Structure 1
Amino acid sequence: MSKRPSNSNFYGQSKKFRSSASSASSVQVTANERKVDDSYFSNTPSDTEAALLYLKSKFPIEKFEGRLPPVLLVHQIYSVIKCKTLVDRDVNSLQAKGVVRLFKLGGEETALVVVYSDELVNHIIQHCPTKPVINRFLKELIPKVQDVSIDKTLLQELGFTQQEMSDLVRAGLLTLRSTASFWFSFPNAGEFMRTYLKGRKSVLRTIRKCKFSEILQFELEQRKLEKSAKLGMLYHIHDMIGAELVKCIETTSGTLLRLTKK
């Protein structure tokens, strides 16, 4: 007859097995935790994305009664994040992923603006006529061309006729850049630029009237703007800081904004 294993060996093996199982379970839990951690950090917005969301929350969309989506200025992000290289890299990455869309709007001075892609599409659908060319613009052109402008030759290569280009111009989706190219745009972009420039001039005029052309930021935030300046004081403060029209000086009383050009 074979000998029965001793209790010490039997329980020793059993304990060893349980220990191995426990170790494997521990490894499994650790791996799962790592997956959760990786997922968490991959879904955590970058500083630039967080800044964009903050600035978007300050856009007074209700004052435009649906005529505009939240429109942000790229240089406004510089007022929140000081590293311009980081901001530019992140914004380009967000555009490459299709999260946002950049536009270069003209006027008295050009402005590089950013609009969230989903809000842009909804805005276009709401304000543009229901035509096949509009659907093609949204489904074929926007995803393929991420630049702020486009050449007529490329439009022709993509199958857009001269009449369809004219339709896109009338819809506010293209504006003439030169005889051979267009800027991308969106409906009522002109209203945004007019409001933006009026508001900026109003705020600059307010600061210029102050002694030494400087004012504490919290005091400026309390000042009232003209009714035509719908974007609000805080929007323009971020605009002026990011565009370096004012210099920020930390004082015991708070941040002092001083005009860089008087």
Structure 2
Amino acid sequence: MKRAKIPDVFKTRKKPKIQQQTSEDWGEEDSGSAVPTDCQAALMYLRSLINVEALDRRIPPIIIKHQLYNVIKNRTHVDKQVNELRDSKEIKLLKLGTGPDEFSIVFTKDYVEHVNKQLPDRPVVKRFLSSIVEKTNSVSVDKRMLVDHLEFKDEEITELVNGGVLNVRDVGSWWIAVPGAGYFIRHFTKGRDAILRTIRNSKYKQILLRELETRDLKATKTLGMQYHIQEILGSGSVSKFDTTSGTMVRIDS
């Protein structure tokens, strides 16, 4: 079998030119030489899979953290670099409700641009972005931080909750959130369910990866088939193995 060409994005740490590719372009059937080792480049690749135009620009590009585990095989390396990017404020780790223990990733620049577009000309939002989003690596905030340290008033916190940048976590604490996240979660869930149902209904609950990639599933069009494939593989919802016909994906349970 002809070896997959290593994408240019992973030949250097310089800012890459991202191109949309299929799973086989990433060496799914190769010996592993095409597996990237740079988490930032992997994030940029996953970001490039999202068709923001199809989403009417209602959300920023959102990456599910475990998608990285399919692109970069070393989970420890992924977790270490995600923490480094988070500490450098380049990305935000967010709890969006895609899974009980799962976090999502948004580039900080994308998050700030999205919030400013959705909630323009609001002084309390600008304070929130400058004092929390751009200066901390926090996933959540509590009343002590907001009121005692940053001097937000109760009515301002309410405004942030109503604006969708804070979601209630517990009494006196809030998750940092994305305005319009519910729209993303609906499309994410529908697309994921459609792909898993397709595999489950296939013979022996398995299908060739390249065949799955060509399936015309309406529910996957918004986020994109490749986006969903990276997610189900990274989450362990399906397993994959090589056959003489190509890479096969299977639901084991």
Asked if these proteins are the same fold (TM beyond 0.5), I'd say yes
- Aligned position for 1:119: 110
AA matched with 1:194:
R
- Aligned position for 1:147: 138
In the TM superposition, residue 43 of structure 1 has moved relative to its aligned partner by 5.2
Long gaps (5+) in structure 1: 1-40
In the alignment, does 2:210 pair up with 1:218? Answer: yes
- Aligned position for 1:66: 57
- Aligned position for 1:186: 178
**Alignment partners' CA distance in 2, 1:107 and 1:220:** 23
Of Structure 1 and Structure 2, the greater helix share is in 1
- Aligned position for 2:168: 176
Task: Check the 8 A contact 1:198/1:229 in 2, yes or no.
Answer: no
Alpha-carbon distance change, 226 to 44 in structure 1, aligned in 2, over 3 angstroms:
closer
**Alignment partners' CA distance in 2, 1:193 and 1:111:** 13
In the TM superposition, residue 257 of structure 1 has moved relative to its aligned partner by 0.3
In the TM superposition, residue 145 of structure 1 has moved relative to its aligned partner by 3.0
- Among 119, 128, 135, which residue is 1:137 paired with? 128
**Alignment partners' CA distance in 1, 2:116 and 2:107:** 14
In the alignment, does 2:224 pair up with 1:232? Answer: yes
- The alignment partner of 1:98 has SS state of coil
**Alignment partners' CA distance in 2, 1:227 and 1:79:** 22
Task: Check the 8 A contact 1:76/1:241 in 2, yes or no.
Answer: yes
- The alignment partner of 1:202 has SS state of helix
**Alignment partners' CA distance in 2, 1:76 and 1:120:** 19
- Among 234, 240, 247, which residue is 1:255 paired with? 247
- Aligned position for 1:88: 79
Task: Check the 8 A contact 2:108/2:133 in 1, yes or no.
Answer: no
Task: Check the 8 A contact 2:94/2:104 in 1, yes or no.
Answer: yes
Could you list the per-position Cα deviations for residues 72-92 of structure 1 after superposition, in whole angstroms to 9, with x for gaps in the alignment? 111001111111110011011
Long gaps (5+) in structure 2: 1-11, 17-36
Could you list the per-position Cα deviations for residues 49-77 of structure 1 after superposition, in whole angstroms to 9, with x for gaps in the alignment? 11111111111111011111111111001
Could you list the per-position Cα deviations for residues 192-240 of structure 1 after superposition, in whole angstroms to 9, with x for gaps in the alignment? 1111111111111111000111001100001111247511211111000
Between Structure 1 and Structure 2, whose CA radius of gyration is higher?
1
- Among 187, 190, 195, which residue is 2:187 paired with? 195
Could you list the per-position Cα deviations for residues 111-154 of structure 1 after superposition, in whole angstroms to 9, with x for gaps in the alignment? 31111111111111100142110110111121333121111221
- Aligned position for 2:32: none
**Alignment partners' CA distance in 1, 2:133 and 2:224:** 31
Query: Scaled by the length of structure 1, what TM-score is found?
Result: 0.79
**Alignment partners' CA distance in 2, 1:154 and 1:98:** 18
**Alignment partners' CA distance in 2, 1:44 and 1:61:** 21
**Alignment partners' CA distance in 1, 2:97 and 2:44:** 24
Q: Across the two proteins, how many residue pairs are aligned to each other?
A: 221
**Alignment partners' CA distance in 1, 2:168 and 2:237:** 29
- The alignment partner of 2:167 has SS state of strand
- The alignment partner of 2:134 has SS state of helix
**Alignment partners' CA distance in 1, 2:220 and 2:196:** 15
In the alignment, does 2:157 pair up with 1:165? Answer: yes
- Aligned position for 1:28: none
- The alignment partner of 1:105 has SS state of coil
- Aligned position for 1:25: none
**Alignment partners' CA distance in 1, 2:95 and 2:49:** 21
**Alignment partners' CA distance in 2, 1:166 and 1:74:** 29
Answer 1 or 2: higher relative contact order, Cα 8 Å, separation at least 6.
2
4+ long deviations beyond 3 Å: 41-46, 107-111
- The alignment partner of 1:62 has SS state of coil
In the alignment, does 2:66 pair up with 1:75? Answer: yes
Query: Scaled by the length of structure 2, what TM-score is found?
Result: 0.82
- Aligned position for 2:9: none
**Alignment partners' CA distance in 2, 1:202 and 1:142:** 34
- The alignment partner of 1:231 has SS state of coil
AA matched with 1:130:
D
**Alignment partners' CA distance in 2, 1:79 and 1:154:** 36
